[in-house]
Structure 1
Amino acid sequence: MVTIKRIILDVLKPHHPDCLEFACAIADKSPGIKVELTVDEIDEKTESIIIVIEGESLDYDAIVEVITDLGGSVHSLDEVEVTSKPD
């Protein structure tokens, strides 16, 4: 069984919700994870952010769903760490 331990996402989001609300919403969806969010670029209507998410078993689809529900879009999956455990 393969589990996702860490991902780094490049995301475009609107100014609202702010970064704290955005990070908390992602963390709230998957208890026990760590979310680190860095603003990379700000323009008139949007912010480009880098999100580092770590945990024992991340649900990538659920994370992307939260980002989309908040008005964001994933530009790229820049880094991923997975582990394989025997079934």
Structure 2
Amino acid sequence: MATIRQLVIDILKPHEPTMLVIAQQVADTDGVSGVNAVLLEMDEEVRNIKFTIEGEDIDYDNVVAVIEDAGASVHSVDQVACGEYIVEDEPTAQD
């Protein structure tokens, strides 16, 4: 099976632990080289955060386990890049 090189996920998390803590925990996961976390929305109970994760061989199940252990959940998988390298998205007429 092809390796996952990039993963963009939308997570929902309570206010604690912080986005920084979860990003660091995901970055420490085997196969992950870097994590970018961006706050998308915040309300009284939860925060919605977009995580962009890159690495040589990302284990999706391990990433989800780290996120769930922190009390958060994966709301959606918004983008995934698999194979020997990351293929850049090219604009089309619809864009």
Relative to the length of structure 2, the TM-score reads 0.83
The alignment-based identity, stated in percent, is: 43
Deviates more, 1:30-39 or 1:66-75: 30-39
Structure 2: where are the runs of 5+ without partners? Answer: 85-95
C-alpha separation between the residues in 2 aligned to 1:32 and 1:58? 6
Question: Could you say which residue in structure 2 is the equivalent of 1:70?
Answer: 70
- Which residue identity is paired with 1:68? E
Q: How many residues of Structure 1 are paired with residues of Structure 2 in the alignment?
A: 84
Structure 1: where are the runs of 5+ without partners? Answer: none
C-alpha separation between the residues in 2 aligned to 1:31 and 1:73? 20
Relative contact order higher in (CA < 8 Å, ≥ 6 apart): 1
Question: Could you say which residue in structure 2 is the equivalent of 1:42?
Answer: 42
Where do 1:3-82 residues align within 5 Å?
3-30=3-30, 32-82=32-82
Higher CA-based Rg? 2
Relative to the length of structure 1, the TM-score reads 0.91
Whether the 8 Å CA contact 2:31–2:58 is kept in 1: the answer is no
User: What's the CA shift for 1:73?
Assistant: 0.7
C-alpha separation between the residues in 1 aligned to 2:32 and 2:77? 21
C-alpha separation between the residues in 1 aligned to 2:32 and 2:73? 23
Q: Would you tell me which structure has more helix in proportion to its own residues?
A: 1
- Which residue identity is paired with 2:37? L
